[in-house]
Amino acid sequence: MGMFSWKEKTDASLQAGGVIGPDERLPWPQTAVMGVQHLIAMFGATVLAPILMGFDPNVAVLMSGIGTLIFFFMTGGKVPSYLGSSFAFIGVVIAASGYAGPGPNANLGVALGGIIACGALYFLIGLVVQAVGVGWIERFMPPVVTGSVVAVIGLNLAGIPIKNMAPTNFDAWMQAVTFVSVALVAVFTKGMVQRLLILMGLIVASVVYAVLTNGLGMGKPMDLSGIANAAWIGLPNFSAPVFQGNAMLLIAPVAIILVAENLGHIKAVTAMTGKNLDQYMGRAFMGDGVATMVAGSAGGTGVTTYAENIGVMAATKIYSTAVFLVAAIMAVVLGFSPKFGAVIQAIPLPVMGGVSIVVFGLIAIAGAKIWVENKVDFSDNKNLIVAAITLVLGTGDFTLKFGGFALGGIGTATFGAILLYALLNRKG
């Protein structure tokens, strides 16, 4: 089937326990609503990452949409993924630019030059994978390793909503209200409402939040003034890159982490859909690399395939690439519309945090699903030790420094799992 050819299926197939595969789609109105859900799933992290680095959030959102479109075309519309701001860049960008925050990053150009260098290295790695194949990846990353890495991605992110998105006790309770709302929608509803569990849970929790805060004064009220004051159409604050050797050497190695993330994501989608996407691995790396270079050239953050959206796919069983095409187009429109951006940013922080708890948890469970479906034998000490150490390295954010470069939890867990498995497998 062509890039824009999807077999249309109805919601009845989902009710029968089926899934919507990458080359299938629901009717366009339902596909569009699913696109909105994926847009919301990526928005919190895609906006938070640039704020932490002093980048313009609207540029980051715009580049996430453009990057997803690039990824879609370079993979032939076969790999369901959304590309958003990567947290792997935060430490090295702050180190390279000397950013102390808050507000705009005065040395943004230097960071952008390093991001472009990272994207170029990432693209070259993709070329090698495309030429050589993924057989060597299979040898180094069997199911026990890939399952552990995917689980770690969700567990490593768990601290973000719990530690950073609930500053008060009331906010913590609102996070609980949010994830319970999502759970109730997931279990007690049917049809399309159930497939929109993230979006519907978010709406219910936002209404509860407004009643408790704006109505009863129990917490920080929802502020809708930003929506009223924002323009419907406006250009983001684009920035030009500056190429400095030290910054490029510091930031470029992040490409290795992006490879690990992308690899884990594709393995997770393969496990969930039952469709082997390994043949698109090289093109996925190249697409992500080009998207990162394009983002860096305009003032955006480096991008990566987003675990948040994989969590949504796991919950909805809808893996249609048409959904991501819609979400990407919406993100591009959003990038040029401060009004729409203000609507999303008006979502209360603890509500977004509660949604994040659900999504990150679903990612971790997707890793466990890889173990179950591949019948990983944990009575074998090799598998047991690799999984045990990997989970703690990633969850605890174990960090190793190489000069000015810091390899954080996901990176150390990923490469630790690969190297440890290779070492222990020598006995076999």
Judged by average pLDDT, the poorest of 110-124, 289-303, 414-428 is 414-428
Each residue of 247-297: pLDDT tens digit? 888 788 788 778 877 887 888 788 787 888 888 999 999 999 999 999 999
Listed residue (143, 175, 182) closest to 160, CA to CA: 175
Listed residue (297, 258, 333, 281) closest to 88, CA to CA: 258
Domain presence at residue 298: yes
Domain presence at residue 13: no
Q: Structural domain of residue 115, as residue ranges?
A: 20-233+240-427
Each residue of 124-166: pLDDT tens digit? 999 999 998 877 767 777 888 878 887 887 787 788 788 877 8
Tokens standing for residue 415 = 């490469």
C-alpha distances (whole Å) from 392 to each of 55, 263, 352, 409, 412 are: 32, 20, 26, 9, 10
Q: Using CA atoms, how far apart are residues 144 and 15, in angstroms rounded to an integer? A: 32
Residue 179, strand partner residues:
none
Q: Could you tell me the pLDDT band of residue 101, with boundaries at 50, 70 and 90?
A: low
Give the chain's domain count. 1
**Does 263 or 70 have the greater pLDDT score?**
70
pLDDT at 229 over 80: yes
Q: Using CA atoms, how far apart are residues 101 and 121, in angstroms rounded to an integer? A: 28
**What's the pLDDT score for residue 157?**
74
Domain presence at residue 222: yes
Domain presence at residue 73: yes
C-alpha distances (whole Å) from 158 to each of 52, 220, 261, 327 are: 17, 24, 16, 24
Each residue of 298-342: pLDDT tens digit? 999 999 988 778 878 887 888 999 999 999 999 998 888 888 767
Judged by average pLDDT, the poorest of 102-111, 125-134, 340-349 is 340-349
**What's the pLDDT score for residue 15?**
54
Residue type, 341: G
Domain presence at residue 210: yes
Q: Using CA atoms, how far apart are residues 126 and 293, in angstroms rounded to an integer? A: 14
Q: Could you tell me the pLDDT band of residue 13, with boundaries at 50, 70 and 90?
A: low
**What's the pLDDT score for residue 102?**
58
**What's the pLDDT score for residue 215?**
86
Domain presence at residue 10: no
Count of helix runs (H) and strand runs (E) in the chain: 21, 6
pLDDT, averaged across the chain: 85
**What's the pLDDT score for residue 17?**
58
pLDDT at 2 over 70: no
Whether the ω angle into residue 27 lies within 30 degrees of 0, i.e. cis, is no
Q: What is the DSSP letter of 213?
A: I
Listed residue (303, 302, 254, 259) closest to 281, CA to CA: 259
State mean pLDDT over 377-385. 93
Burial grade of 401 (CB within 10 A; 0-12, 13-18, 19 or more): exposed
Domain presence at residue 1: no
Domain presence at residue 358: yes
**What's the pLDDT score for residue 364?**
82
